[in-house]
Amino acid sequence: MSETGIARRSSLHGQWSSRLAFVLAVTGSAVGLGNIWRFPYIAGENGGGAFVLVYLVCIVIVGLPIMMSEVLIGRRGRRNPVSTMTLLGKEESGTGSWGLVGALGLGSGFLILSFYSVIAGWAVAYVIESASNTFEGATAASVEQVFNSLASNPLRTGLWHTIFLAATAFVIARGVERGIERAVRVMMPALVVLLLVLLGYSAVEGNFAQGVRFLFEPRFEELTRDGMMEALGHAFFTLSVGMGAVMAYGAYLPSGTSIMKMSVAVVAADTAIALVAALIVFPIVFANGLAPDAGPGLVFQSLPLAFSQMPGGAIIATTLFVLLTFAAWTSAISLMEPATAWCIEKLGLTRALAATAVAGITWILGLLTVLSFSTLSGVTFLRGTFFDNIDFLSNSILLPFGGLAIVIFAGWIMARASTASELDPDAGTAYRVWRFTARYLTPLAVVAVLLRGVGLI
């Protein structure tokens, strides 16, 4: 196909109404439970400092270049990730087998969304807990009890999981522009404002110095092989890269938008929000004698403690959990979009039917996570509960492999002219830095962490 032919290729699913809409949507995808729930708890489990450092390095040399690669591939292909990788694979190297990378991504998406929806359900449940003043006069013991009684109740968590997933499918069914854009526009700025208020509280009332030391003083002896893999995996998870979500969004991006600048902005915002969340959580944890390695319940226990002590706490708590729910919602939407787009293009389903089918499969898978924290919490194998295994498989293995394949495709398989025409037709310094990183640094870093994870180096 000629260069102009490629430029004119258009998406079946519409386009973003503006450049800002795309930036908001990708930010909405990136910012979610990963920043506010997952980052603090895995940083806490892995001893803080050294883990945070590896995570930050992975964000810069792995996450950022892969995000640029995904957007450029998505915009060039303008289809769902499977068809895009098949199409570009044929164009660039004569083989359509690259479609398998897209297929792997769809699989990762189902797995991630299955547990994501359950944890988002916890956030919804906490909106109600906060609004009904459950946390007034709370103590370390009582917040733990509130969390445990929620997580261990499969009917309650199953119900919220169902409602959250249905709400996600609803937005997806309405389509790219009307659904996704609207959901992100207002919520993101509001979330940032509220986090800054909480940061102020934590700095004044929490043990801020100890929190900062915990997060930024590298103690390498505390970083295990698994911890390194988790840091790498989290860099993928938090930026939504490695499974085609950003690629699917890139497909709806008008040509002419600077992919590089936009990616830097999204990555910077996402990282800042994660660090702020951790800087809110740990000072509260240390001031109240909570355990930094409390696991998935960390945020759900530390924040309510803070709310219980501040004036107007119930209102602030309710607002925060509402915003967390919305942040999770905009991420879940991006997790559902690639598989939905595939069902529409390949199976000829309507958007509504495709979204329902994808949600149905995810719902069933999600029950495993619901039960992991309740009825089946005693059932452990390999890495722990079903949830621990799904989380490890998707984030520490599938996303890094998917991301590695994507960056190798963009760096080695695609012609220089093709990537340059998407990223920067003049092939300036920024483009050359990207290409060098994508060809050498990123693949080496991913392979090194994976090899270290399995004990080979």
Q: Give the nearer residue to ligand PFF in terms of CB position, either 68 or 138.
A: 68
Structure tokens at 246: 């950003």
390 binding ligand PFF? (CB under 6 A): no
Q: Give the nearer residue to ligand PFF in terms of CB position, either 325 or 331.
A: 331
Q: Residue 335 Cβ, how far from ligand PFF at the closest point, in Å?
A: 5
Report how far residue 157's alpha carbon sits from residue 375's, in angstroms, rounded to the nearest whole number: 12
138 by Cβ neighbours in 10 Å (0-12 / 13-18 / 19+) ranks as buried
Among 30, 228, 247, 359, binds ligand PFF (CB under 6 A): 30
| Tokens 């992919």 sit on residue | 259
Determine the 3-state secondary structure of 258 from DSSP.
Answer: coil
Among 238, 263, 302, 356, binds ligand PFF (CB under 6 A): 238
CB atoms within 10 A of CB 407: 25
245 binding ligand PFF? (CB under 6 A): yes
- Binding segment (CB under 6 A) for ligand PFF, from list 13-21, 120-128, 327-335, 407-415: 327-335
- Binding segment (CB under 6 A) for ligand PFF, from list 155-163, 236-244, 292-300, 409-417: 236-244
Residues 179-218 binding ligand PFF (CB under 6 A) are: none
Measured in degrees and rounded to the nearest 5, phi and psi for residue 282 equal -70, -40
Please compute Rg for the chain using Cα positions. 21
Residue nearest ligand PFF (C-beta atom): 34
Classify the C-alpha dihedral 297-276-35-391 as positive or negative: negative
**Ramachandran area for residue 224 (φ above 0: left; ψ -120 to 50: alpha; else beta):** beta
Helix 64-77 / helix 416-423 crossing angle, nearest 10 deg: 100
Q: Residue 344 Cβ, how far from ligand PFF at the closest point, in Å?
A: 18
Structure tokens at 309: 């002590």
**Ramachandran area for residue 427 (φ above 0: left; ψ -120 to 50: alpha; else beta):** left
**Following DSSP, what letter does each residue of 79-145 receive, concatenated?**
S-HHHHHHHHHHHHHS-GGGHHHHHHHHHHHHHHHHHHHHHHHHHHHHHHHHHTTTTTT--HHHHHH
Among 16, 21, 27, 29, binds ligand PFF (CB under 6 A): 29
Cβ pair 252, 22 in contact under 8 A:
yes
85 binding ligand PFF? (CB under 6 A): no
269 binding ligand PFF? (CB under 6 A): no
Q: Residue 35 Cβ, how far from ligand PFF at the closest point, in Å?
A: 5
Among 334, 385, 396, 442, binds ligand PFF (CB under 6 A): 334
Q: Give the nearer residue to ligand PFF in terms of CB position, either 243 or 450.
A: 243
Q: Residue 2 Cβ, how far from ligand PFF at the closest point, in Å?
A: 33
Q: Give the nearer residue to ligand PFF in terms of CB position, either 146 or 183.
A: 183
Those residues with Cβ within 8 angstroms of residue 41's Cβ, 6 or more apart along the chain or in another chain: 294, 295, 296, 297, 298, 299
331 binding ligand PFF? (CB under 6 A): yes
Among 25, 28, 32, 87, binds ligand PFF (CB under 6 A): 32
420 binding ligand PFF? (CB under 6 A): no
Total number of residues shown for the chain = 457
Among 169, 259, 335, 407, binds ligand PFF (CB under 6 A): 335
Among 229, 243, 354, 407, binds ligand PFF (CB under 6 A): 243
Cβ pair 130, 162 in contact under 8 A:
no
Binding residue count for ligand PFF, defined by CB under 6 A: 15
114 binding ligand PFF? (CB under 6 A): no
- Binding segment (CB under 6 A) for ligand PFF, from list 32-40, 140-148, 313-321, 367-375: 32-40
Q: Residue 31 Cβ, how far from ligand PFF at the closest point, in Å?
A: 6
Report how far residue 296's alpha carbon sits from residue 455's, in angstroms, rounded to the nearest whole number: 26
| Tokens 């930026």 sit on residue | 239
33 binding ligand PFF? (CB under 6 A): yes
35 binding ligand PFF? (CB under 6 A): yes
Report how far residue 298's alpha carbon sits from residue 309's, in angstroms, rounded to the nearest whole number: 17
- Binding segment (CB under 6 A) for ligand PFF, from list 26-34, 67-75, 128-136, 260-268: 26-34
Cβ pair 13, 341 in contact under 8 A:
yes
34 binding ligand PFF? (CB under 6 A): yes
| Amino acid type, 392 | F
- Binding segment (CB under 6 A) for ligand PFF, from list 33-41, 193-201, 302-310, 365-373: 33-41
Residues 341-380 binding ligand PFF (CB under 6 A) are: none
Among 117, 157, 168, 240, binds ligand PFF (CB under 6 A): 240
Q: Which residues bind ligand PFF (CB under 6 A)?
A: 29-30, 32-35, 112, 237-238, 240, 243, 245, 331, 334-335
